[in-house]
Amino acid sequence: KPQLVASNDRFCRFLEEYCPVVTETYYPTIWCWEGRVQTLLRPFITSRPQVQYRNELIKTADGGQISLDWFDNNDSLYYPDASTRPTVLLLPGLTGTSKESYILHMIHQSETLGYRCVVFNNRGIAGEDLLTPRTYCAANTEDLEAVIHHVHSLHPSAPFMAAGVSMGGMLLLNYLGKTGRDTPLMAAAIFSAGWNVFESVESLEKPLNWLLFNYYLTTCLQSSISRHRQMLEKLFDMDLVMKARTVREFDKQFTSVMFGYRTIDDYYEDASPCRKLKSVGIPVLCLNSVDDVFSPGHAIPVETAKQNANVALVLTSCGGHIGFLEGIWPRKCTYMDRVFKQFVQAMFEHGNKIFSM
């Protein structure tokens, strides 16, 4: 059974009644139970539901642009009125976009419930041009704030939630820690967030983890900016950035410099959501596996979470990073998908009961 960490008895009872998956035994796929195997295989094993998006480019205050992919769900039987149709904002991982299988599955789950989804693609990675020499990072929430304000202004009467995966979850937590209760979001779901960036990069620099994940992730980061080399060369020594062999080296030469941090340690401290968890002001459910090499179990802020009545952690012993595969042949629904579906439905349809239970 997963460990449910929550200091608020009412939040606990609410989850047990309306999101019972968090109290059920999670049985990982028996032939790939180890965390690294789950992490590596999930993108290849899980299906990719067909989703038709409507793309929207919005301008930012600094002259840049952000690509949003909308799934309007205009055929929704439960919520035919678009003005009040519940909306879920989805934030993919570090180099992820609206095409990631885990995002497509979240949209598929939302479609069956009648909800609308919008995917926030970080600057420059979804095919759109960079109009300014700026990309994104886990600590800077300006673009997310602009997107949340934009989506809310389009549908001010619609219940509004967000779900973030991996770095998307870190960004969302950092935003919630900054805004407290001053947000149009009614709740949030976080999956496989890296809680302490220092611990995450140290784990990823262990020899086997570097070989399996770190080097590949670094090349993904480099390829995501190489298309914009002409724009970025105005500010960066791109030859040096392209020589990075670890995420830490990339962040030292590129990310921390772009966002004006004096040192990489200053950036990593600001990017670590564990430092802002006390300030979260809306109900948040966070799912992590303790065998996730991207977010080691010992770095999950269990004691801090117990100090905030708005926070619930669900910790599984297996599942890896965005893995959570279950069943003999885990093509379709993962444990993470089921947590997502039950929690968003619980909040949209019964959220007002948290405070009365």
Is the pTM value of this prediction over 0.85? yes
Is pLDDT at 25 greater than 80 in this prediction?
yes
135-155 confidence digits (pLDDT tens): 999 999 999 999 999 999 999
Q: State how far the Cα of 345 lies from the Cα of 337, in Å rounded to an integer.
A: 12
Known catalytic residues are: 166, 292, 321
Position 33 scores a pLDDT of 79
Provide mean pLDDT across the span 255-273.
97
DSSP string, 54-76: EEEEEE-TTS-EEEEEEE--TT-
Provide mean pLDDT across the span 147-173.
98
Kindly state the tokens that stand for 98. 């609206």
Report the chain's mean pLDDT, rounded to a whole number.
96
Q: State how far the Cα of 342 lies from the Cα of 340, in Å rounded to an integer.
A: 6
Kindly state the tokens that stand for 42. 């999930």
Helices (H), the chain: 9-18, 35-45, 101-113, 142-154, 167-179, 197-204, 207-209, 215-226, 229-232, 238-241, 247-250, 256-258, 264-271, 302-305, 335-350
Q: Say what percent of the chain tops pLDDT 70.
A: 99
Pairing of strands 311-316, 3-5: antiparallel
Q: State how far the Cα of 323 lies from the Cα of 336, in Å rounded to an integer.
A: 8
180-193 confidence digits (pLDDT tens): 999 999 999 999 99
Position 181 scores a pLDDT of 96
Position 168 scores a pLDDT of 98
Are the C-beta atoms of 300 and 328 separated by less than 8 Å?
no
Is pLDDT at 263 greater than 90 in this prediction?
yes
Domain range annotation of the chain: 1-195+272-350, 196-270
Position 357 scores a pLDDT of 60
Q: What is the DSSP letter of 299?
A: G
Provide mean pLDDT across the span 322-346.
94
Is pLDDT at 356 greater than 80 in this prediction?
no
Position 354 scores a pLDDT of 85
Position 264 scores a pLDDT of 97
Per the listing, tokens 């690509």 go with 67
200-227 confidence digits (pLDDT tens): 999 999 999 999 999 999 999 999 999 9
101-139 confidence digits (pLDDT tens): 999 999 999 999 999 999 999 999 999 999 999 999 999
Are the C-beta atoms of 141 and 183 separated by less than 8 Å?
no
Per the listing, tokens 């299988």 go with 101
Instruction: Tell the CATH topology of 1-195+272-350.
Output: Rossmann fold (3.40.50)
Is pLDDT at 81 greater than 80 in this prediction?
yes
Is pLDDT at 37 greater than 80 in this prediction?
yes
Provide mean pLDDT across the span 74-88.
97
Position 69 scores a pLDDT of 98
